[in-house]
Amino acid sequence: MSPRVEDALLVFYIVVLSFPFIFGTNGFLMIYYYFKYRDRQVAQKGELKELPVVTIQLPVYNELYVVNRVVDSICSLDYPKDKIEIQVLDDSTDETSAIIAQKVIEKSGQGFDIKHIRRGSRQGYKAGALKYGLAQAKGEYVAIFDADFIPRVDFLKRTLPYFTDEKIGLVQTRWEHINSDYSLLTRAQAIALDGHFVIEQQVRNKAGFFINFNGTAGIWRRSCIEDAGNWEADTLAEDLDLSYRAQLKGWQFVFMKEYTSPAELPADINGLRSQQFRWTKGAIEASKKLLPRVWKSKLPLRVKIHSTVHLSASMVYPFVLLIGILQVPIVFIKHSGHYDATFIMMSGFIFAFFGSFMFYLYSQKDVYKDWRRRIYLFPVFMAGSMGLSVNNTKAVIEGLLNKKSEFVRTPKYGVTGKQGSWADKKYTQKKINWVSITEFALALYCLAGIVMSIVYLEIAAVPFQMLYFTGFGTISYLSIREAVLAKKAAVRVVPNAQPVAEQIVK
């Protein structure tokens, strides 16, 4: 390798490292705000003189394994029946619709105002369904739950008192994970989501930054939705989009860290892939749409800067992928011994790693008594994030290039605790795509880099390369394994899906 090529690669590598470094060091800033505003109350609860009418929207698309469960949970809320309107917004194309129809008949017979709403198409996907239902809604307030959630019985009585403040437009609750102990995959997801909810959402809310509705487990003031321009389907992150538009209008949000809404994590890797892809691509689409509005607004500079970091955070994935690819040639360059001073300087980039670690450490310590046991899985989470970088880089590129794609919902299978299975279910992915093959090739590539590092005695590079090898290798292995198991299961559509759904609910 010529000196000129080595110089160019090293400069490129430093540039690539700089982006994750910036986002990683943001973890320290979040921890600083976490302690600074730890005791701040975002909003005060008032007393409702009269219980308002609430519309509860349940957007559903092919959820035969969990739809009965969420409807039963909603009908168990501790709130007067005559004050609740339930909309099951059903865009399903399978037997889920028949299950819903039967459940609606059952609950209507019990005195519930429950409606089975079908549009005849998926136009606008989830945003389209929510907007369609809102036009027919009776409630002054609108609660939204995805099909995999199991709201607590006191959800409305705990959230509604915040709306006595006329400026409050949304109350968002923290997600709780009913199957976090199911596997290493779900445990790693729990760490990632806890970081978002316990640190990001809480800190942003208390520090006066913008937060986002998480698409579910929250309740809106209807007039806030309408004042912000209603649901729009031009991004895959309709929740993030509406959240920013509402806050730009002056509405305030409340995040309830201490109150949780239980939900099911994706138990299969391909379900997680589709979720991560949608979230990543949607965030990129939303950032392109919203950042010009943020910077044209009269918001304080600190809010504009933090909003930029918030909205553009998904941009880190292509750089994470590039770092993994560049590891091997960098080993050769370092071994040459010509750039020792440069590599000593570059060791400062490890600072960002500690920022991320502190971020997730305090997210676990804040809400779990067994946080020490949980934080041991941080390397697993890191490896998984690296392993998903191919999938999420594809999402970033498509978002930047304005390539439109279908809203692919994350399939759920009624998995709770350590019980249940996904392999024999209808929605499992049965094809091995090029992303999985690319990840497998990258795992072999990183393995070669580990061998070279050992041969050249560049031992300091091995732990980092091991994370990439483990991430790419595990993600690709799980994807291929799940596709094989799904094929072997010879999944077929159940002719009478009613007993299947009822069995899951029981």
Chain-centre distance for alpha carbon 78: 29
Neighbouring CB atoms inside 10 A of 29's CB total 15
Backbone angles phi, psi at 109, to 5 degrees: -65, -20
> Quick one: which of 315, 252, 317 has its CA closest to 288?
315
Instruction: Please give the Cα distance from 72 to 505 (Å, whole number).
Output: 9
What b/e string do you get for 297-312 counting C-beta neighbours within 10 Å, with b at 16 or more?
eebeeebbebbeebbb
Backbone angles phi, psi at 63, to 5 degrees: -130, 55
The answer to whether 215 touches 196, Cβ cutoff 8 Å, is no
Alpha helices in 209-349 (DSSP H): 222-227, 238-248, 269-296, 301-312, 316-335, 340-346
Instruction: Please give the Cα distance from 161 to 466 (Å, whole number).
Output: 50
Alpha helices in 166-237 (DSSP H): 184-194, 202-207, 222-227
Beta-strand pair 84-90/113-117: parallel
Burial of 362 (0-12, 13-18, 19+ CB in 10 A): buried
What is the number of helices (H) and of strands (E) in the chain? Answer: 20, 7
141, β-bridge pairs: 54, 221
Chain-centre distance for alpha carbon 370: 23
Instruction: Please give the Cα distance from 69 to 215 (Å, whole number).
Output: 19
Handedness of CA 212, 213, 217, 218 (dihedral sign): positive
Residue with tokens 């933090």: 306
> Quick one: which of 444, 400, 404 has its CA closest to 312?
400
419, β-bridge pairs: 416
DSSP state for residue 198 in the 8-state scheme: I
Q: Which residues, including other chains, have CB under 8 Å from residue 331's CB and lie 6 or more apart?
A: 449, 452, 453, 456, 458, 461
The residues carrying an active-site annotation are 91, 239
| CA-angle at 89, arms to 85 and 93, nearest 5° | 150
Distances (CA, A) of 63 to 67, 382, 417, 437, 497: 6, 31, 19, 29, 11
